[in-house]
Structure 1
Amino acid sequence: MITLHQYPEAFGLSSLSPFCIKVEFFLKVAKLPYKNHVEVNPAKGPKGKMPFINVDGDKIPDSSFIIDYLMNKHSLKDLEIKDPGAQAQAIAFKSMIEDALYFGLLYSRWVDPVGFKRMKSEFKSMFPPFIGGPFLEFIRRNLTKQSRAQGLGRHSAEEVYALSAKQISALATLLGENAFFFENKITYFDATSYAFLTTILKQPIDSPIKKAILSHQNLCDYVDRLDVVSGVRK
């Protein structure tokens, strides 16, 4: 049995982390039986992050390594991208989402004062009285430092959101009029693209990143389509 260790639900999403949503969505489309184990403390993960899976005592961390492990272990050929050109695009766009758009999402939640105010009100109740507020401020300071170290946090808010909007536009162009991003079927790539798009759309922060997605009807339709696959919507 696969046990998925992930952050708790938030905003009507299965987890507050798109990386956790990514793995759970993949488990569903791969039709692999699993159970959830909610973690609040990232230090419990083998690499100090969530998610990770436990398979018969073996712990596999990091969403990408988890999916690679499951693809190989269960020979999930139907979820592969077979065309070499499409494979190259998938690698590049996955990196764009997880290494660039992710920091735009992080900025909108924790650095932008408007987003942080909403995050604080949503998550304060998860902690004991008098602890939640200071702890969330501590998280904000750490993530702001992380954002600056990565580079995005050194830009103005307008510049950050302009970069994120370009990334969203690139995704919309890649999808075009297709139902899915590659080979007219769900592939492992959709776990990443869906996880991030649905997280941005469903979190209660009216950020410019959300507005950028809403300006592309094909991306909105794509999320609606995969909500059905994920079980969010029937």
Structure 2
Amino acid sequence: MGVGRSGNLRAQVAKGKVTRHASRSNMANCNCFFCLPSPSEGNSWKSTALCLLGGAALASASIVFVSRIWEKFRQKNTVYPEDTVVLHQFQRAKHVPSLSPFCLKLETFLRMHNIPYMTILDSPLSSKGKMPWIQFNQSRVEDATFSVMFLSETFHIEVNGMSGSVTSQQKAMSRAVVSLVEESLYWTVAYCRWVDHVDQTRAELPYDGVLKFVVPWMMAGIILREMYAHGIGKNSREELYSIMEGDLKALSDLLGEQSFILGERPCEADCSLFGVLAQIMWTLPGTRAEALVKGEYINLANYCIRMRELFWPDWSRIVTEKH
């Protein structure tokens, strides 16, 4: 029985007569990194650059993956202080404490109710693949909404994070505002950030090198897929901005001249609203979202400044520290 051409080639390789990349004809049929052809061989720099970028992205992803595995192992064996909430979240950003509205919401809630806490930055994602998540003594709670519920019960805070006696109508209104902010406005702001104005977002990221380009590219794909699955992503760009404007108008009208969204006392709804509005106020310069908040709906901008001054007196220090 004959060994065939491939068998003969393997035999020659074994004898050292032929190496895999010894001839230009072999290289022409190879797609590995070391045999990338030059432009003079009939290929454009564009395809070569894409291959190089892909290799760099893969290397970066591998480094991140290994570091996350190590961090997860390290945290599993870390003993945290008793009766202190451990808040796991993303790295700090340049102009806001977090580019995640949900991380900013939860940390604002902790500050609003003077709950002792410590932060673990750039922590591994929860088992749900989300941030933030918390630990408290022997308890572990994932997702900002369930964390607020857990904290409200543990620290005897009224439903929806409202202090003092509240009516059923106020509780219902708080829940309605949270739903509006997190199920509608959030998506249009995410689209504005990761898809429509990615250059501004890239400048906010706490990364250097190739990750500064890879992360926005990955996030754009994730956001678009999640928006489509949600349903809101089936709308056009103009329709999305129309939804955003309608949401901002409704929130502006509801706020009016009040100190907080439901009156003179802050609640969970304020944490949710601040988490999203802060992204518009301080991370999306020159966008339609910023123009709306700082223009037609200026009371929302004043509200953001008021929330920051009240619950984040150390804001400037936090965003300028190197983490």
State whether TM-score is above 0.5. yes
What's the CA shift for 1:116? 1.2
Do structure 1's residue 90 and structure 2's residue 170 form an aligned pair? no
SS of 2:134's partner is strand
Structure 1 unpaired stretches of 5+? none
The aligned amino acid for 2:126 is: G
1:181 corresponds to 2:261: yes
How many Å apart are 1:205 and its aligned residue? 3.7
Corresponding residue for residue 69 of structure 1? 150
Q: Highest CA radius of gyration, 1 or 2?
A: 2
Please, what TM-score do these two structures have when normalized by structure 2? 0.66
Aligned-residue RMSD, C-alpha: 2.1
Deviations 1:7-46 (A, max 9, x none): 11113211110100001111011001110101265xx313
Contact 2:88–2:131 (Cα < 8 Å) also in 1 = yes
Distance 1:111 1:76, change over 3 A: same
Superposed counterparts of 1:4-23, under 5 Å: 4-23=87-106
- The separation in 2 between residues aligned to 1:223 and 1:49, in whole angstroms, is 25
Is 77-86 or 25-34 further displaced after alignment?
77-86
Secondary structure of 2:182's counterpart equals helix
Mapped partners of 1:188, 1:141: distance in 2: 30
1:167 aligns with 2:247: yes
Q: Distance in 2 between matches of 1:50 and 1:188?
A: 18
| Alpha-carbon distance in 1 for matches of 2:150, 2:164 | 13
User: Which residues of 2 match residues 1-234 of structure 1 at below 5 A?
Assistant: 1-39=84-122, 41=124, 44-77=125-158, 79=163, 82-112=166-196, 115-123=197-205, 126=207, 129-214=209-294, 215-232=296-313
In the superposition, the TM-score normalised over structure 1's length comes to 0.89
- CA 1:135–1:30 in structure 2 vs 1: closer, same or farther (change >3 Å)? closer
2:78 corresponds in structure 1 to none
Distance in structure 2 (CA, Å) of the matches to 1:221 and 1:111: 27
In the alignment, is the contact (CA less than 8 A) between 1:80 and 1:188 conserved in 2? no
Task: Report percent identity of matched pairs.
Answer: 25
2:187/2:227 contact within 8 Å kept: yes
Greater RCO, CA 8 A, separation 6+: 1
Cα gap change, 1:213/1:74 in structure 2, threshold over 3 Å: closer, same or farther?
A: same
Helix, strand or coil: the match of 2:299? helix
- Runs (5+) with no aligned partner, structure 2: 1-83, 317-323
Separation in 2, partners of 1:204, 1:163: 18
Moved more, 79-88 or 222-231: 79-88
Corresponding letter in the other structure for 1:99? E
SS in 2 for 1:79: coil
Secondary structure in 2 matching 1:12? coil
Q: How many aligned positions are there?
A: 228
Cα distance change on mapping 1:137 and 1:118 into 2, 3 Å: same
SS class of match (1:184): coil
CA distance in structure 2 between the partners assigned to 1:219 and 1:97 by the alignment:
13
1:135 Cα deviation after fit: 4.3
Measured after TM superposition, the shift of residue 153 of structure 1 is 2.4
